[in-house]
Chain A
Amino acid sequence: MLKGHFPLWEVFVRGRRGLDHKHIGSLHASDADQAMKSARDTYTRRQEGVSIWVVRAEDIHASQFENDASFFDPAEDKVYRHPTFYEVPEELKL
């Protein structure tokens, strides 16, 4: 760790009960406790949240751009996963 360089933390906030935590931004902090308090002060000062997660950015594994084609395109032709694919009598409201 470079002297005085704080790790980057990603911040996720649950807007209100019933909703998922959503990525809202990031910040720098020396430890989880400080990150949590800074997240509270930075990202919920307009009542944007009822719960916060902070995650060290380096702990997040992301899919790679180079893999996009092999990762995501094969889902393209699986149209039968979607309800609109099927023809059933409309009046039954299936």
Chain B
Amino acid sequence: MTKNHYRYVLRLGDNALILGQRMTEWCGHSPLLEEDIAMANCALDHVGRARLLLSYAAELEGEGRSEDDLAFVRSDREFENFLLCELPIGDYAFTMARQYLLDTYHYHLFTELVSSSDETLSAIAKKAIKETTYHMDRSRDWVLRLGDGTEESHERMQVALEGMWNYTEELFERDPVDVQMIAEAVGPDPEWLHSKWQADINATIKEATLSVPEKKWSLSGGRNGIHTEAMGHLLSEMQYLQRTYPGLNW
């Protein structure tokens, strides 16, 4: 197995882990009791997916590391998630807009990964696609409801989309890792994903009476370990116990 294959799977795992970590922040604090439960369900799917992917990444790496080694004792510069996943949760409009953008991305990604030449990845994708189909249905509902709800919710949803739009192009970048994975039929071409994603997002934004933001910059770096400042704080919380008491069982 190649280093690129490891990094490809690691990136998928990091996206699930970091987004999942953010989602858990709503637990006990969300706007409705029903939402405490629903959001936790989706977060559990993400944590579960992170475990499968990071375990598999560790296996590909072949250095005897575990899912927890990868999650809890790597530094900021070694995480390769999209920046969009790590941004602070913001208000519920920001949270649900981000979920929707990423759910839609994952929906198309996992649909393709089901037929990956990598059988393990294909098996993970078969499980993930069921979860993601529901997640996307749910987050899309929220974008529609907040977009076409009150004046205030409309405004908040529009602001949320504007605030994250500069981070969306990173989802579809193609670097040597992707090029090799496309060549080996492990993963799909990000450009192809981009067109599918864009069509869905545009339709939903329109239906939600919102407008597609204008992209001013393309902010990226996450996949090469260049993160926002929020990332260090997320990790210092998440990794606290493993860092304070190295090498123990929990």
Contact = CB atoms under 8 A, between A and B. Distances in A.
Do chains A and B directly touch (beta carbons under 8 Å) in the complex? Answer: yes
Tell me if B's interface is mostly helix, strand, loop or mixed: helix
Contacts of B138: 37
B123 interface: no
Interface in A17-54: 27-30, 33-34, 37-38, 40-42, 45
B141 A38 contact: no
Interface in B137-196: 137-138, 141, 145
Interface stretch (B34-42, B68-76, B87-95, B199-207): B34-42
B141 A27 contact: no
B141 A33 contact: yes
B38 A41 contact: yes
B2 to A, nearest CB: 39
- Size range of the interface on A? 10 to 19
Given A27-B34, A28-B34, A41 B41 contact: yes
Contacts of B37: 38, 41-42, 45
A42 B34 contact: yes
A29 B35 CA distance: 10
Q: Which of B32, B141, B145 has the most CB of A within 10 A?
A: B32
Nearest to A37: B138
A38 B34 contact: yes
A29 B41 contact: no
Interface string B38-76: 100100000000000000000000000000000000000
Q: Top 4 A-B pairs ranked by shortest CB distance?
A: A41-B38, A38-B34, A41-B41, A42-B37
